[in-house]
Amino acid sequence: MKTIMKFTAIVAFMLTTTVGMAKEPKLNLIVNNETRSLVFVLETQSEETKIKFLDNQNNILYSENVSDEVYSKRFDLKKLENGIYFFTMENALKSITYTLSVEDEVSSVIESNEVLKPFFRKSAHMIYLNLLNLQKDEVEIKVYDGNLGLVFEQDLTSETIIEKAFNFKSAKADDYTVVVKNSNGTYYENIVVN
């Protein structure tokens, strides 16, 4: 019986994830060595996305907030010095960093790193948390009140799918913060209880 319940839960989560990803941006990053340019195309945009182009000193060469349904931008690499550069795309669900090598005649994408973020959803006096933890990293979840008093704490290890619901319906009037920390960073979601 437990096996059937686990299987059903996994199938439900995968269906929810698939439906949610249907609106996920499609991303194309193309390096054109003939024109020494980089073309970035973002399709089916569902929320604001921040893009940045940085040098190896983390100086921002270009930054823009994108909310168009279809967005395309060409970056001229001709005037850049030879070296390593970074192109990042970040939205509420994930961030992707591309490491680029720019050399005299050849530019290329060396690697890409995708980080999935926790997804928070608010409804009335509830906060729902979903996190796909494919690396099974340790995840620390804490809830603080307005005076930074710890209200809730839980450490999770070796879990692939993390789902939590926080009910603030009977909580005293205050500002609360849900903090999720893993190897990729620390993420916050606030709720005000009146």
CA dihedral of residues 139, 48, 68, 55 (deg, nearest 10): -80
pLDDT tens profile 152-192: 999 998 899 999 999 999 999 999 999 999 998 999 999 99
Number of domains the chain is built from: 2
Residue located via tokens 């439900």:
12
pLDDT in tens, 153-163: 999 988 999 99
Range of the structural domain that residue 136 is part of: 119-193
Residues 130/100, Cβ–Cβ less than 8 Å = no
pLDDT band at 6 (very low <50, low <70, confident <90, very high): very low
Q: Is residue 21 part of a domain?
A: no
Quote the CA–CA distance of 53 and 70 in Å, as a whole number.
19
Within this chain, do residues 31 and 85 fall inside the same structural domain, yes or no?
yes
83-133 pLDDT, tens per residue? 999 999 988 888 899 999 998 878 888 999 988 899 999 988 899 999 998
In order of 2, 156, 163, the CA distances from 176 in angstroms are: 35, 21, 19
* 133 vs 118: CA distance, rounded Å: 9
SS3 (DSSP) at 134: coil
> Do the domain assignments include residue 175?
yes
> Beta 174-182 vs 161-167: how paired, if at all?
unpaired
CA 81 – CA 163 distance, rounded (Å): 46
Q: Which of 116, 143, 178 is the last residue of a domain?
A: 116
Same domain, 53 and 127: no
Q: What is the pLDDT of residue 118?
A: 93
Tokens of 71: 């967005």
